[in-house]
Chain A
Amino acid sequence: MKRALLFFCAGLAACAPIEKTVRTERGPLLRSFTRPMVVEGGLRAEVQVAWPKLEVQVKAHDVCRELSVDEYAEERITERSAPAAGAAFSTGVATTLAAAALFGISFLLSNSPDTTVIDTTGRFGPPPRTIMQGWSIVALAIGLPALAVGGIAFLRTGEDVEQMRVEQETGQKDKECNVRSATGAVRFIGARGEVAVAPLVDGAGSIDASVFKGAPEDLMLADKAITLDEPGVLTLGAFAACVQVEAEGARAPESLGDGALLARVDRMKNCRQVRGDALAEPLAAAEAEVSRRRQTGTPGAFAPGPSVASFEEAVSAYAPRLTFKAGSADLAKLDAPDTLNGQAVFMQGVVSSGLAENIGVLQLGAKEVFVFIPPKRSWSGDFGNGARVEAVAVMAGWQTVGEKTLPLARLVWMRTAF
Chain B
Amino acid sequence: MTVGHLTDAERATVARVRALPVFVFVLLSCSGPEAPDVAVCRDIITRVCLGPICEPVTTKLGVDATNCEATLLMKSGCGNESFAFTSPTRAEVLDCRVPLLRQGSSQKVKPSCADVAEVFTDCPDLVRFLGGTR
Contacts of B32 in A (CB 8 A): 113-114, 123-127, 130
Is residue B122 contacting chain A, with contact meaning CB distance below 8 A? no
Is residue A161 contacting chain B, with contact meaning CB distance below 8 A? no
B110 vs chain A, min Cβ distance (A): 15
- Whether B34 pairs with A123 at a CB distance below 8 angstroms is yes
- Whether B29 pairs with A118 at a CB distance below 8 angstroms is no
Is residue A122 contacting chain B, with contact meaning CB distance below 8 A? yes
- Whether A122 pairs with B40 at a CB distance below 8 angstroms is yes
The distance in angstroms between the C-alpha atoms of A4 and B19, with both chains bound, is 13
Is residue A133 contacting chain B, with contact meaning CB distance below 8 A? yes
The distance in angstroms between the C-alpha atoms of A133 and B25, with both chains bound, is 9
Say yes or no: A130-B28 contact (C-beta < 8 A), given A117-B105, A118-B43: yes
Contacts of B105 in A (CB 8 A): 117-119, 125
**Residues from 36 to 74 in B contacting A, C-beta threshold 8 Å:** 39-40, 43
Residues 96-123 of chain A, each 1 if its beta carbon lies under 8 Å from chain B, else 0: 0000000000000000011111111111
Say yes or no: A137-B26 contact (C-beta < 8 A), given A116-B107, A122-B90: yes
Q: Identify which of B12, B29, B101, B108 gathers the most chain A CB atoms within 10 Å of its CB.
A: B29
B18 vs chain A, min Cβ distance (A): 9
> Residue of A at shortest CB range from B11?
A1
Contacts of B90 in A (CB 8 A): 122
- Whether A120 pairs with B30 at a CB distance below 8 angstroms is no
The distance in angstroms between the C-alpha atoms of A356 and B25, with both chains bound, is 127
- Whether B98 pairs with A120 at a CB distance below 8 angstroms is yes
The distance in angstroms between the C-alpha atoms of A127 and B28, with both chains bound, is 10
- Whether B39 pairs with A115 at a CB distance below 8 angstroms is yes
The distance in angstroms between the C-alpha atoms of A121 and B32, with both chains bound, is 11
Contacts of B25 in A (CB 8 A): 133-134, 137
Interface size, chain B (Cβ < 8 Å): 26
> Residue of B at shortest CB range from A117?
B105
Interface size, chain A (Cβ < 8 Å): 22
Contacts of A124 in B (CB 8 A): 31-35, 39
Residues 126-150 of chain A, each 1 if its beta carbon lies under 8 Å from chain B, else 0: 1100110110010000000000000
Is residue B80 contacting chain A, with contact meaning CB distance below 8 A? no
The distance in angstroms between the C-alpha atoms of A121 and B33, with both chains bound, is 11
- Whether A134 pairs with B31 at a CB distance below 8 angstroms is no
Contacts of A134 in B (CB 8 A): 25-26, 29-30
- Whether B29 pairs with A131 at a CB distance below 8 angstroms is yes
B119 vs chain A, min Cβ distance (A): 13
> Residue of A at shortest CB range from B27?
A134
> Residue of A at shortest CB range from B34?
A123
Contacts of B22 in A (CB 8 A): 137
- Whether B97 pairs with A117 at a CB distance below 8 angstroms is no
The distance in angstroms between the C-alpha atoms of A126 and B35, with both chains bound, is 11
Is residue B94 contacting chain A, with contact meaning CB distance below 8 A? yes
In-complex Cβ contact of A130 among B29, B39, B94 (8 A): B29
> Residue of A at shortest CB range from B18?
A1
Say yes or no: A117-B106 contact (C-beta < 8 A), given A122-B40, A124-B33: yes
The distance in angstroms between the C-alpha atoms of A121 and B108, with both chains bound, is 19
A240 vs chain B, min Cβ distance (A): 94
Contacts of B98 in A (CB 8 A): 120
Contacts of B94 in A (CB 8 A): 120-122
- Whether A126 pairs with B34 at a CB distance below 8 angstroms is no
Is residue B15 contacting chain A, with contact meaning CB distance below 8 A? yes
Contacts of A119 in B (CB 8 A): 31, 101, 105
- Whether B29 pairs with A123 at a CB distance below 8 angstroms is no
Contacts of A118 in B (CB 8 A): 35, 39-40, 43, 105
> Residue of B at shortest CB range from A137?
B26
The distance in angstroms between the C-alpha atoms of A347 and B101, with both chains bound, is 122
The distance in angstroms between the C-alpha atoms of A118 and B100, with both chains bound, is 12
- Whether A126 pairs with B107 at a CB distance below 8 angstroms is no
B2 vs chain A, min Cβ distance (A): 22
The distance in angstroms between the C-alpha atoms of A126 and B33, with both chains bound, is 7
B13 vs chain A, min Cβ distance (A): 11
Contacts of B15 in A (CB 8 A): 1, 4
- Whether A120 pairs with B101 at a CB distance below 8 angstroms is yes
The distance in angstroms between the C-alpha atoms of A126 and B29, with both chains bound, is 6
- Given A116-B106, A122-B35, A124-B35, 9 new contacts (CB under 8 A): A116-B107, A118-B105, A121-B94, A123-B31, A123-B32, A123-B35, A124-B39, A125-B105, A126-B32
Residues of A within 8 A of B (CB): 1, 4, 113-127, 130-131, 133-134, 137
Residues of B within 8 A of A (CB): 11-12, 15, 22, 25-26, 28-35, 39-40, 43, 90, 94, 97-98, 101, 105-108
Q: List 7 A-B contacts (CB under 8 A).
A: A114-B32, A119-B101, A122-B35, A126-B31, A126-B32, A137-B25, A137-B29
Question: Nearest 4 CB-CB pairs, A to B?
Answer: A134-B29, A113-B32, A124-B32, A1-B15
